[in-house]
Structures are given as C-alpha cells and as structure tokens.
Structure 1
Amino acid sequence: MVFDFGLLAEHAARRYRPAGRFTEGFVRGKLRHDPVYSHLISNPNWLPQSGLILDLGCGRGILLSLLSEVRKRALTALYDVRLCGLDLRTKDIAAARRALGDEAEIKLADVRSAALPAPGAVVLLDLLLYLRAEEQETLLKRIADSLPAGGTLVMREADAASGLSFRATRTAERLCALARGQFSQRYHYRSETEWRDLLEGLGFTVETAPMSKGTPFANVLFIAHL
C-alpha cells in the first residue's frame, strides 16, 4: 500500500479541531512521533477484510480516526469493516465521538467487565500495564475466546527486561499519571518473553517488532494470530 502517511495523519488530526486546539495538537504530535501508527497503517496484514476492529482502551480514538481516513480514501480493503472503541475516560470518549461521528461506535466502558462483541481484530495499545496480573490474563483469555479462527490481536506493551529503556518507559508512565492526578496508579509489566509465552498459551501465533523508534522507550508490538 503506497500513500503519504503525513498527509493521512494530518487529515486525522484535523478531525479533532471541534474538540479544541489542545486536543488537535496532542493528536497531531502522537501521529508524528509515535511510530506505532505509521507501522500499523503501513503493514495492513493485521487488518481483517470484514467484520469488526475493536480498540480496547481507545482513548481519543486516534487509531480509529486513521483507519476511518484509510477507509474513506479506499487505500486498502476496509469497505466492510466496522470500527468500535471502548474506554473509561469520559473526556477522551467525548473527543473520540466528536472526531469520528457515526464512522465508529465509541463506548464508555470498563474493558475488564464490558461484554466484547465478536471482532475480527482486537487492538490493545499501552493498556495492559494498568491492569493487575490476573486481570491481564483474564482479559486476554476473553479476547482469545471472542476472536474467530484467523482473528488477530494487536498489542503493544513495554519489555520489562530491556534495562535502561524500560526504566525510561516506567518513569514516563509515572510522570504522566501524576500529571493526570492519578497519584496511586499502579502498573504490572512483563518481559517480551513473558508476554509471548502468555499469548502462545492462549493459542496465538505471535510475531513481534520493536516499537520505540525515535523514542527512549522499550515498547514491543505483538501481532498475534489465532
């Protein structure tokens, strides 16, 4: 798939203007500097040809906005794909709804307890670290049970075995939590090997790619197929 990601990202960022200049600028910065978005859009092998793409912990819906722009421009075969996002943060949900309108279903819900619709692909970007170990395992099992044969889980998490890069990741997460007023936020990290073992134990075939280019962090992208 050949396209100008910068132009696509700019169109996606402009969707957030009704939510305010700060939100628009935040989204633009994420799209420019976080490598996961360009990687996923440029490598469409994870995208289903039909059915539902479910983004759990979707936040402001940045990936969903990008996918909607891809669909609108017919850059890949997303014609029959539906988009849905779940998140607990009311302000982020409001921004996602303003950006996406009726192009995606955005739900205010706790991913730990919400019913999961039958998806073709599930996305978890930087979400599981906020859950306790047993909650991580329960959610991943629920996702595996909800996906069809051939379904895909796309997941990004930090590699707890990556030394100084992991320390930078952990420090950044703590600072962000403090900025949000979440002074008691706790995290549970795993190494890349531990994540892979957990996913393979649920029946997934797992591919990984480093996902921290241009940053000091220790993120890994997991593309897991049933």
Structure 2
Amino acid sequence: MSHAFIRDLVDHASSRFRAGGPFAYHYARGKLGHDTIFHHVLSHGLLGGATRVLDLGSGQGSLFSWLLAAQQMAERGHWPAGWAPAPRATELRGIELMPADVERARQAFGADHPVVRIELGDMTESALGQPEAVTILDALHYVDVDRQRALLRRIREALPRGGVFLTRIGDASAGWRFHVCNGVDKVVTFARGHRLPRLHCRPLAEWRSDLEALGFEVSHRDMSGRKPFANVMLHCRVR
C-alpha cells in the first residue's frame, strides 16, 4: 500500500472538518489515518464501483469525505498502481442518530453539497431508498438483535442484484480480544459526547448465517491490524 499516497489522502479528506472545530478535524484524521478499513475500501474496491452509497450510522461523514478526496486525487492523475479503480460516487447519503454529528457534517460539507447529504434519523426506521452499496461501520451492535435482523432484511431488499453491503462487527466468539474491543468502543462513544451504550454483539458465525440466509455471498476479513481487538469486516454481495 502506498504510504505517501495515504498521507496525502488523509490530509485532503480531513481538511474539510476544520470548519467543525478541533474535535471534528482530529477525529477525522485519526479515523482515516489509522483505521485500515478505509484504506481497504479503496485499494480493494470494496464498494464495487457503486455510484449511490448509503452509510447508516454515518457520524460526521468521514467515509464520504474519504471517497470524495479519492475521486478528486484520481481525477488529477494521482492513483496508486495496482489498486482497484477509484470511486465514482454521484450520491452519498448518510443517516445518523446523533444531532451533534449531523451538525459537524453540515459544517464540513455545507447545507447544499451536490453529492453528500447526511440526515438526522434512526437507521432502523428511515427509508433506505435505492442505493447500490450500503455501509454500516461499527454501528449495528448499538441496536438489539431483532432490529439488527429487520434492518439487514431491509438492506437486502433495497439493494439490486450485485449490490454490496459492507459492515464491521465485533466477533463475540473471539474471547478476551472481544472484551478489549468492547471496552475501547465504549470509551470512544463516551468521548464523542454520547451516553455509554448497551452493546448487542454476536458471534461471527451467526452474522454470516443470517446474511447468507438473506441471499448474500459473504466473505470476511480480520480488521484488527496489530491491535488486540476482535473487529471483523463482512463484505456481502447480493447473489
């Protein structure tokens, strides 16, 4: 992976969050610079060339800024050899439950951005529209298992044939690494100004079983890097 390119991309993608204050900016820099799932989204083309992307639990929109920055750098001729083609999104829609995050997104992207729209809402209740790819990064475990399953069913119904669902979960069967991961999650949530949540985590095998029963082809990959976590990325494509 091109480390110089990643550094330039992080600088470009995080700069827009300066408008939201120091927390918004440094949170984006930390997330985009050190969370490898964002790097894999680009280098491996995990969104499958989708032009319409829906991010549920989108926070302040760090993923969208990342995708836009990548598109702009590719248009200027800066793209690492061997990577999947650069994203070409035309509609980036986020749904976020926390008003403070939605406000930070508004400050970063403006109220009338031609591509990005982040709405205040509950991902378990909001209309999903007609996306080509849906992402939920580290948010599914904030809702109970029944609502998780109902939401996964609605996501499958919203996606076209070949559509992509990308999520990351904490594998509840991973022993002590899972408990470390859960503890860090609660600390980060509290630091963002939210109440400590009750988490509804499940074993990887159970997630895979539910998704495959809905008609997804599922692959998974450890996303913990060198950290003692139990983060697993699930890349799901509609059969």
TM-score (norm 2): 0.87
Q: Structure 2 residue aligned with 1:82, among 63, 86, 91?
A: 91
Corresponding position of 1:199: 211
**In structure 1, what is the equivalent of residue 7 of structure 2?**
6
Where structure 1 has 5 or more consecutive residues not aligned to the other structure, the ranges are none
Deviations 1:86-122 (CA, angstroms, capped at 9, x unpaired): 1011111111222223030111111111111100000
* Counterpart-to-counterpart distance in 2, 1:85 and 1:14: 20
Query: Helix, strand or coil for the counterpart of 2:129?
Result: coil
Which runs of 5 or more structure 2 residues have no equivalent in the other structure?
Answer: 80-84
Distance 1:168 1:79, change over 3 A: closer
For residues 181 and 54 of structure 1, do their structure 2 counterparts lie closer, same or farther at Cα, with a shift above 3 Å needed?
closer
Moved more, 187-196 or 31-40: 31-40
Show CA shifts across 1:155-199 (max 9, x none). 10001011111010112223344443514x211111111111110
Separation of aligned partners in 2, 1:49 and 1:23: 27
Partner of 1:92: 101
Secondary structure of 1:142's aligned partner:
helix
Question: Separation in 2 of the partners of 1:143 and 1:91?
Answer: 26
Q: Please state if 1:182 is matched with 2:195.
A: yes
Contact 1:169 1:218 in 2 (8 A): yes
Give 1:61 shift: 0.7
Aligned ranges 1:90-169 → 2 under 5 Å = 90-101=99-110, 102=113, 103-169=115-181
The 1:181–1:95 alpha-carbon spacing in structure 2 relative to 1, beyond 3 Å, is: closer
The size of the alignment, in residue pairs, is 224
Residue in 2 that maps onto 1:38: 39
The equivalent residue for 1:65 is: 65
Cα deviation 1:6-45 (Å, max 9, x = unaligned): 2111111111011112221111111222111111121114
Tell me, yes or no, if the aligned pair for 1:46 and 1:223 is still in contact at 8 Å: no
Task: Encode CA deviations 1:35-94: one digit per residue, 9 max, x unaligned.
Answer: 1111112111433343x1000000011111100111223354544532111101111111
Where 1:4 maps in the other structure, the secondary structure is helix
The secondary structure found in structure 2 opposite 1:113 is: coil
The farther-off stretch of 93-102 and 104-113 is: 93-102
Q: TM-score, structure 1 length as denominator?
A: 0.92
Which piece of structure 1 moves more, 37-46 or 138-147? 37-46
CA distance in 2 between counterparts of 1:49 and 1:88 reads 24
CA–CA distance in structure 2, aligned partners of residues 80 and 172 of structure 1 = 32
Q: Hey, what's the Cα distance between the residues in 1 that align with 2:220 and 2:229?
A: 16
Q: Deviations over 1:179-222 (max 9, x none)?
A: 43514x21111111111111001000001110011322110001
On the 8 A contact 1:19/1:98 being kept in 2, the answer is yes
